Amino acid sequence: MLSFSKVADLRRQIGDWRRAGLRVGFVPTMGNLHAGHFALVELARQHADKIVASIFVNPTQFGPNEDYARYPRTPDTDIDGLRGAGCDALLLPSVEEMYPFGTMGCVQMHVPGITDILCGAHRPGHFNGVAQVVARLFNMVQPDVAVFGRKDYQQLQVIRYMATEMSFPVRIVPAPTLRETDGLAMSSRNQYLQGEERQTATFIYQTLCFMRDQAALGMPPGGIEAEARQRLEMAGFTVDYAEIRRSDLSRPRASDEKGLLALIAARLGRTRLIDNLEFDIA
Ligand code: PAF
């Protein structure tokens, strides 16, 4: 696997591949990679000839009291894992390479509407930072396809909107959520969980299944959400939201039977966990 810290060097390599008629797939990450990330690389491989991954803990998507400083950075094991997953090139840029005029001097981005709800309402500025860095990465790599996990469903929707609205010539490929055997969605933040929190964390997936099952029984979304929140709080979570939404993240209508999601964001100790479950009730 080739490794680049400078965008100009990566671009030269990608230019060679393009001249040879090869399609480029892209998997952006913040590192601390797990099986879920390697599955993204494998999925990208189904759509492209050469796979580029990036590892960059993006400061602009973290709020002032969030975990930017302690976000786990494990480049050596990440590089081994990406090599094993068949990745062809890695972009590992510095903050200066990504933001040459600094994070205060950089061009700002705002994706309207969809970023005001759910995680956007609880992490002000987060999705602006995500859109900003993903737009930069798309411009640097210029991939034919880019793969994003469905676990970060709202992020996926923000990126789809941004890529369409800004005419990036890239196809966004969503990847299924990978779960541990007890249902916990794989996430780099799972390793923050202390002692019994790891077991308690499985309650998020159980609650998503409860929400889906109650929807199938005809319970109205408001009632499901109130009960889900109460169950999570009883289990020790501080709940940001537990909501039923349509696949475009608008509020569901009484007649909706297909394309629904249950979404949860909740904190356990110092760890904020998110997950979602897509379902139909017909
Ligand atoms: O999902 C992530 O890991 C990050 O939000 C992303 C898309 C790599 C942007 O920093």
Give the residue, by CA position, lying nearest to ligand 1 atom 1.
29
Rounded Cα–Cα distance for residues 199 and 124 (Å): 29
| Residues 1-21, mean pLDDT to the nearest whole number | 98
Query: Contact at 8 Å (CB) between 256 and 246?
Result: yes
Taking CB atoms and a 6 Å cutoff, what residues make up the pocket around ligand 1? 28-30, 58, 61, 130, 133-134, 152, 155
- Annotation-wise, does 21 bind a ligand? no
| Residues 195-213, mean pLDDT to the nearest whole number | 98
Give the residue, by CA position, lying nearest to ligand 1 atom 2.
29
Query: Contact at 8 Å (CB) between 26 and 159?
Result: no
Q: What is the pLDDT of residues 49-77, one digit of tens each?
A: 999 999 999 999 999 999 999 999 999 99
Please give the CATH number for the structural domain made up of 2-175.
3.40.50.620
Which residue reads 């492209």 in tokens? 48
Distance, CA 196 to ligand 1 centroid (Å)? Answer: 28
Q: What is the DSSP letter of 190?
A: G
Q: Which atom of ligand 1 is nearest to the CA of 58?
A: 10
- Residue type at position 125: G
Q: Given this structure, which CATH class describes domain 188-277?
A: alpha beta
Query: Contact at 8 Å (CB) between 24 and 53?
Result: no
Rounded Cα–Cα distance for residues 42 and 55 (Å): 17
Query: Contact at 8 Å (CB) between 44 and 145?
Result: yes
Nearest to 243 by CA among 265, 258, 259: 265
Per-residue confidence at 205, pLDDT binned at 50, 70, 90?
A: very high
146: pLDDT strictly greater than 90: yes
Backbone angles phi, psi at 49, to 5 degrees: -90, -35
Active site residue 37: yes
pLDDT at residue 282, as a whole number: 79
- Annotation-wise, does 32 bind a ligand? yes
Q: How many residues are listed for the chain in this entry?
A: 282
Q: 33, 78, 137, 152: which to mutate for ligand 1, most atoms within 8 A of CB?
A: 152
> Can you tell me whether residue 243 is helix, strand or coil?
strand
Instruction: Spell out the domain ranges in the chain.
Output: 2-175, 188-277
Average pLDDT, the chain: 97
CA angle 49, 53, 59 (to 5 degrees): 155
Q: 27, 30, 60, 92: which to mutate for ligand 1, most atoms within 8 A of CB?
A: 30
Query: Contact at 8 Å (CB) between 134 and 58?
Result: no
Per-residue confidence at 223, pLDDT binned at 50, 70, 90?
A: very high
Nearest to 149 by CA among 185, 202, 198: 185
Which residue reads 């007890």 in tokens? 182
The count of other CB atoms within 10 Å of the CB of residue 43 is 20
**For the chain, what percent of residues have pLDDT higher than 70?**
100
